[in-house]
Structure 1
Amino acid sequence: MQAFILRIAPSGIDRVHEALETDEVMIGWCRCAALIDPTLRRSGFRSALKQQYYPTDATQHRAGSAAGHLWRFLREMHIGDLVVVPHGSRFFVGKIAGDAFYSEEGVARDAAFRRTVTWLNSKRAIPREFAKAPLISRMKVYGATAEATDLIAEIEDVLSRAAQGEKPSFAEELQKKLANVAVDELRKGHMDSFAFEHLIKGLLKSMGAQTAEVVARRLDKGADVVATFRIAETFSYKLAVQAKHWDERAPVGTAVVQQLIEGIEDVGADLGMVITSGTISDKAYDCASAYTAESGVRIELVDGEQFAKLLIEQGVGGVTV
């Protein structure tokens, strides 16, 4: 089984209600109907999208990002996979029930590429606060799709709780309140950029990093913290983090993501992460998504609220519930 995040808003228009009514999930870029052909390779996706949607772009970044989303929807999703659909402060979960198809009826709404789906939890929405921090973070993806197979346990857990009608426990409510206090302290308390980087280092160590080091400023080429993780004592991967302490003037933008990309390539990281005590712009999510589609290296963006929740969940600094 695999799992995916799917934002159902082709051409920027919310189509979640339609998806629930028709028992189908959908994605945009419908002017490229030929991409339904199972013999086409990913390079063909990018070329077709570049020609149809981004002919004047100097680069293939946007075409590559779109190709990644369509490829994931048409080729990587399979019957039985889970799909999480964010919708405001709530989300829905379904299970893919059919192969991808192209519906002429959906062309006018840019929702022609579709898959049938069996909605779980009796089609009832689940409040985001029922989910754990990693799943909440992944649902903030700005692009149309994102991988979430590593979060299957979290998805199954929240489905189980929703099915039983469980409300957040006292401990979870307390965690939420502590996280609100923590994010306020991160932004306005005794915290500077150096302390923020070391706090991130401590969080990564608590999450199982074998090594985690703050990069000296004179050596910093885009990665402020570098950590290594080992899986099953066999596989290891390197994480590069770009840290941005609270700046009330503006949310984290594309420039910060570009800095991280330089750091990823400088240290040869397998995964990138922007962590801020502030907020993150939609353009930053789009930039990260485009890089992931082109390079295959995923970038996670963690805002202040999510970072605070992770600190509470991991008990960094001795605070845990």
Structure 2
Amino acid sequence: MQQAFVLRIAPSNVNKVPLALKSDQIIIGWSATEGLLDETLSWKAFRKKLQDNHYSEEKNLRRAGGAAGHMWRFIRDMNVGDLVVVPNGPKFYLAEITSDALYLPEQIDDTHYRRNVRWLNDKKPIPRDFAKAPLISRMKIYGTTALATDVLDDIRDALARAEAGSKPSFNYELQAALVKETVEHLRSGHMDSFAFENLIKDLLIQMGAKTAKVVPRRLDEGADILATFRVAETFQYTLAVQAKHWNDKAAVSNKVVEQLIEGIEAANADLGMVVTSGTIAESAVIAAASYAEATGTQIELVDGFQFAKLLIEQGIGKW
């Protein structure tokens, strides 16, 4: 079965997307650790190699575990024929994997680990707004990789839109108009913070949450909403959400992310999400990325336009 992944190609925090396109390869970092292609390595041995070479000064295994998770996904989980979404600013590229993982010691700048790919859409970037909200959300990863098989249909849909030409379809233009109208309504002042939290709760239920509840203000430890999702009716994970209604004076900052982190840890949640009808500051992006790198726990940041798009795609008439 074909899988899909999101890969941020920025080893050592340097954008290597141009190199990836030129070489017909996808690239990941942690090049100082050789030998990860050894299929006999157990998870613990795999992680220990990264710990010894990159995080030997760390007091715990969090960062090594996060790095090992990304490298394991790149080397062990990805297969020939899988699709890889590569975000790059306001656009993204799409590739199909054509080889197993490679280690090329002659390469420089932390780019030794690679895979050969065939770039789709004639190597041309696809505008992010061609994608549906779940795919846009997945592309906002703050770590290096993320599984995206659950949005595979959305990936194929975005590719089809791009291949059909740059002229937007009627449906695309209609959705864009509805999103704009929805954002304006969310920001009009007709909804207070309590109603906004309940709207998010209802949206999460519509998106498949088995349970979703607004946390009473007196019991709020940093999460305004807690939701549980079940994967294949077997695995369950908890999502902690911090809701911030429209504020025309300031974007959502790192302080909101820090509040959510307290809620994630208090609820022992597996994922975090900040949802706002407004905008998100760069400091919030940095705080979410730092927490993901340190703990392996992802925090998604959903701004007003992305939230409106989710409402439209999930059926705004149901609210």
- TM-score tier, shorter chain, comes to 0.7 to 0.9
Q: Which runs of 5+ in 2 are unaligned?
A: none
Alpha carbons of structure 1 residues 221 and 53: separation in structure 2 relative to 1, 3 Å: same
The answer as to whether partners of 2:223 and 2:260 remain within 8 angstroms in 1 is no
Q: Is the 8 A contact 1:2 1:148 kept in 2?
A: yes
Q: What is the total number of aligned residue pairs between the two structures?
A: 310
Structure 2 residue identity aligned to 1:164? A
Residue 87 (structure 1) shift? 1.1
TM-score, reference length from structure 1: 0.85
Structure 2: distance between partners of 1:170 and 1:224: 38
Match of 2:217 in 1: 217
Distance 1:237 1:57, change over 3 A: closer
**Over residues 215-244 of structure 1, what are the superposed CA-to-partner deviations in whole Å (9 max), with x where a residue is unaligned?**
222333444223355678x55745433223
What residue is the counterpart of 1:240 in the other structure? 239
**1:287 aligned partner:** 291
Deviation at 1:11, TM superposition (A): 1.2
Question: Hey, what's the Cα distance between the residues in 2 that align with 1:48 and 1:238?
Answer: 29
The one of 255, 260, 263 aligned to 2:258: 255
Contact 2:260/2:272 (<8 A) preserved: no
Amino acid of the structure 1 residue aligned with 2:253 = P
Structure 1's consecutive aligned runs of 4 or more residues displaced over 6 angstroms after TM superposition are: none
Aligned to 1:310: 310
Cα deviation 1:271-303 (Å, max 9, x = unaligned): 54332334142231342355446xxxx654423
Higher alpha-carbon deviation: 154-163 or 75-84: 154-163
2:53 maps to amino acid: Q
**Structure 2 SS opposite 1:104:** coil
Structure-2 residue corresponding to 1:154:
154
Q: RMSD between aligned alpha carbons?
A: 2.7
TM superposition score normalised by structure 2: 0.85
Greater Cα shift, 206-215 or 302-311 = 206-215
Amino acid aligned to 2:127: P
Query: 1:263 Cα shift?
Result: 4.8
Letter in 1 for 2:314: Q
Cα 1:211/1:89, change in 2 over 3 Å: same
Are the aligned partners of 2:276 and 2:307 in contact in 1 as well (CA < 8 Å)? yes
Structure 1 position 54 matched with structure 2 position 58: no
Distance verdict in 2 for CA 1:208–1:12, change over 3 Å: closer
Structure 1 residue 188: Cα displacement: 6.4
Deviation at 1:179, TM superposition (A): 2.8
Amino acid at match of 2:203: L
Q: Deviations over 1:290-321 (max 9, x none)?
A: 5446xxxx6544233321221222233668xx
Partner of 2:72: 71
Q: Which residue of 2 aligns with 1:17?
A: 18
Q: Structure 1 stretch 97-106 or stretch 198-207: which is displaced more?
A: 198-207
Q: 1:105-254 counterparts in 2 under 5 A?
A: 105-106=106-107, 108-165=108-165, 167-183=167-183, 186=186, 189-229=189-229, 234=233, 237=236, 239-246=238-245, 248=250, 250-252=252-254, 254=257
Cα gap change, 1:61/1:249 in structure 2, threshold over 3 Å: closer, same or farther?
same
2:240–2:260 Cα contact (<8 Å) kept: no
Which segments of 5 or more consecutive residues in structure 1 lack a partner in the other structure?
none
Name the aligned partner's letter for residue 133 of structure 1: A
CA contact (8 A) 1:213 1:227 kept: yes
